[in-house]
Amino acid sequence: MMVLLLLTMMLQLSSSGSSSGGVSTSTTKMNPRRRHCGLKISPLVRNNRLSHKVIIGHRGAPFHLPEHTIASYRLALELGVDYIEPDLVSTKDGRLVASHSLDLNDTTNVADVFPISRSDTKERNNNRTGYWISDFTLKEIKTLRVRQRYGYGKNGDTNFRTTLYDDVFTIPTLEEIINLLYNW
């Protein structure tokens, strides 16, 4: 059985536990003008010859559980997705964590945990003030709890996403996501 993870492109991961950590490498000739990262894209994906429609769990199953949590990715797998696609952001100490937004205000309890003095204004976001992931270490990020981005009534939204699981889950690291897939 193949377990697949879509990071920035669809990569073929084998659950057989090869010595390269399950990532297949390619030795095919590439266009010399294009860089090749050494990872092999599944021929079924490259040639668009899948016998069924591909279902991608982007951010896991965010309608049911807060996005980018191990529970949300697990639920997406249990619902039968072919791929999960986490958005990855680097912390201050260089660790990759799953989050769609660079501003922790959007999806966590950061304002309840850290003082306003930890917030910062970033030019890259139209001088918007926020709590930016890149300003926190992984240890600090792990003290936060994830909240549903668009719960019923938040920001005038009425899409009925449940907020019952707000403040229950933590932000996962890339390693935790890979461990979930490896043990799936």
52, 58, 64, 68: the catalytic one is 58
Q: Is 64 a catalytic residue?
A: no
DSSP string, the chain: -EEEEESSSEEEEETT--TTTTB-B------TTS---SBPPPHHHHTT--SS---EEETSSTTTS-SSSHHHHHHHHHTT-SEEE--EEE-TTS-EEE-S-SBGGGTB-HHHHS-GGG-EEEGGGTTEEE-BGGGS-HHHHTT--B--TTBTTGGG--S-B--TTTTT-PPPBHHHHHHHHHT-
Q: How far apart are CA 141 and CA 127, in angstroms?
A: 23
Please report where in the chains the tokens 């039968």 appear, as a residue: 80
Q: Is 58 a catalytic residue?
A: yes
Query: Which residues have a catalytic role annotated?
Result: 58, 100
